[in-house]
Amino acid sequence: MYNKLTTLLAQQYTEMVGIRRDFHMHPELSFQEVRTPKIIVNYLEDLGINVRIDVGKHGGGCGVVGTLKGVAPGPTIAFRADFDALPITDQKDVAYKSTVDGVMHACGHDIHTAALLGVAKVLASFQKELHGTVVFVFQFAEEADAGGAKPMIEDGCLDGVDKIYGAHVWSELPIGTVGVRDGAAMASYDGFEITIIGSGGHGAKPYETIDPIVLGSQLVINLQTIVSRRVNPVDPAVVTIGSFHSGSAGSIIPDTSEIVGTVRTFNPEVRKQIEKEIYLIVKATCDLAGATFKLNYVHGYPVLQNDSEAVKDVQTVVSERLTDYQLLDMDMVLAAEDFAYYLQQKPGAFFFVGGRNEQLNAIYPHHHAKFDVDEKSLLIIGDVFLGLVVANGLLGNNSA
């Protein structure tokens, strides 16, 4: 059955590439996805798959959920793909370059969606042999802070699901590899905004001011001591300042400065500790100079925690059935993913598929203006998903 499924998927490769390139040329930002979900809905409906539209609409999005119910009872497993893009100008020199100014698929979500559509087409042809149900979750707004996972879950996308799996093409891994990690696999994500309120004045008389730029500069350095001096080094953590804005002219000391940053951790207690430390450091730095401040700390995605049994499913499929691919034990990834919310509700696994290929110039990191991946990753994602259908007993579990 494995070989039959992967052969059928390979026959869909040209179509999957075409779908991926169409999405790549017409990217849509988080919460602005209109064209993409319509294409997904039409494709699934043409396959005879039951479709729910506008899933998670109360959260500002338009998720799509397809349900393929077999003729016999059995488990229900779900696969998730995201389909939003990023506010980045595409700088690749390829025929399928983004046609939308300032927007591009710089993280591979077009690959995820095209691969899952290919899987849906293969499985739809086996509906009369299916023992159980396969749910196809197409999610909006993974890249946004609010995320699309939570509203889709609240709208019932996981109702009746026993396990859920997700995949991410990964430009750091070479094509032909599949990486997965048991337990904590991706970090939690929090964001913070700090406004330092000083007292401005003439650049020639700094002694008459409370300079928010100097205080902000001190604060950027002071915040780095949280990870280096206050967090146990055995607990991975990151505090990054990504934005620092203040002032308008060289001879003017402004009244305020604004700092924006992110926190990544794997340990919930460390997550709480860093939030507390940020407040204490900001307060002490401002108090010493007589300034005041505003701190807005926003809790984002939780730690992505893979289920051990679901991880074994992925490992077994790759190592025993899809032997052309190399199985890797992934290190922790400090990037965050709202797939973590699905895993808080249901057992499952999130795995990585290599997309790097120097010969194709697919060498740039995610969120880079020249990001691209080897499109053969479409087949690898699809092959693993199809293998998981068999491994979970929904289709005949034999190697023929």
Q: Provide the residue-wise pLDDT of the chain in tens; the chain has 400 residues.
A: 889 999 999 999 999 999 999 999 999 999 999 999 999 999 999 999 999 999 999 999 999 999 999 999 999 999 999 999 999 999 999 999 999 999 999 999 999 999 999 999 999 999 999 999 999 999 999 999 889 999 999 999 999 999 999 999 999 999 999 999 999 999 999 999 999 999 999 999 999 999 999 999 999 999 999 999 999 999 999 999 999 999 999 999 999 999 999 999 999 999 999 999 999 999 999 999 999 999 999 999 999 999 999 999 999 999 999 999 999 999 999 999 999 999 999 999 999 999 999 999 999 999 999 999 999 999 999 999 999 999 999 998 544 4
Do 295 and 332 have their domain in common?
Answer: no
Buried b / exposed e along 118-147 (16+ C-beta atoms within 10 A): bbbbbbbebeeebebbbbbbbbbbbbeebb
Buried b / exposed e along 66-92 (16+ C-beta atoms within 10 A): bbbbbeeebebbbbbbbbbbbebebeb
Do 61 and 117 have their domain in common?
Answer: yes
Type of residue numbered 297: Y
pLDDT at 82: 98
pLDDT at 171: 97
Q: Which two tokens stand for residue 47?
A: 């396959």
Contact assessment for residue 88 and residue 102, using Cβ atoms and an 8 Å cutoff: yes
Model pTM? 0.94
The number of folded domains in the chain is 2
Do 158 and 109 have their domain in common?
Answer: yes
Give the other-Cβ count within 10 Å of 46's Cβ: 10
Do 192 and 227 have their domain in common?
Answer: yes
The two most distant CA atoms of the chain are separated, in Å, by: 82
Do 103 and 160 have their domain in common?
Answer: yes
pLDDT at 50: 98
Domain hosting residue 123, numbered range: 2-185+303-391
pLDDT at 55: 98
Q: Which of 284, 299, 314 lies at the terminal end of a domain, its last residue?
A: 299
Do 319 and 284 have their domain in common?
Answer: no
Of 209, 244, 206, residue with least CA distance to 223: 244
What are the residue numbers of the active site?
84, 142
Q: Which two tokens stand for residue 158?
A: 């996981």
pLDDT at 195: 98
pLDDT at 397: 55
Residue 159 lies in a domain: yes
Q: Which two tokens stand for residue 170?
A: 């990964």
Residue 400 lies in a domain: no
DSSP string, 233-301: TTS-EEEEEEEEEE-SSTTEE-SEEEEEEEEEES-HHHHHHHHHHHHHHHHHHHHHHT-EEEEEEEE--
pLDDT at 190: 97
- Which CATH number goes with the domain that contains 289? 3.30.70.360
